[in-house]
Amino acid sequence: MTARPSVYGPAVSEQDRRDLEQLVAQIETGFNQKDPAVIDGPFSDDAVVIVPDGTVLRGWSNLFAYHTARLSGPVTGWTTRITVTDISSPAPDLAVLHLRQDTTTPQGAFANHGTAVAVRKDSAWWISAMQNTNVA
């Protein structure tokens, strides 16, 4: 068998954890307020996001256009709660976040699980990649 490396280092600091959880809280707030500028505020200019239906969005402007359309129409009346379930750090200034998103709609409720990759640039955390999958 091939020897495999362990890649995750020590846990992020408590301050980093708070900062990363704040990024996720901003996404939740933006969704609940139906404000694409708030929901997309934490993302880098070159972010790659895979939304629940599998669509791949590349770049902040495409993400903003998607959320502008989505928040003004199909998800009106929906609310969400996003919980960070785990944060790990494979390298300095890099964090992998595991998320659970519980959403309530007029028709009922559902959950998504997701993963986000955050990078620290110029002393600030930015989400560079995110994937969000419906839980069956």
Q: Where are the domains of the chain?
A: 14-134
Question: What DSSP string runs through 74-119?
Answer: TTTT-EEEEEEEEEEEEETTEEEEEEEEEEEETTEEEEEEEEEEEE
Contact between residue 8 and residue 88 where contact means Cβ atoms under 8 Å apart: yes
| Banded model confidence at residue 13, pLDDT cuts 50, 70, 90 | very high
Q: What is the mean pLDDT of the chain?
A: 96
Element (H, E) at 69: helix 60-71
DSSP state letter for 74: T
Residues 97-116: what's their mean pLDDT?
A: 97
Band of residue 9 on the pLDDT scale cut at 50, 70, 90: confident
Residue 11: what pLDDT? 84
| pLDDT band with cut points at 50, 70 and 90 for residue 135 | confident
CATH number of 14-134: 3.10.450.50
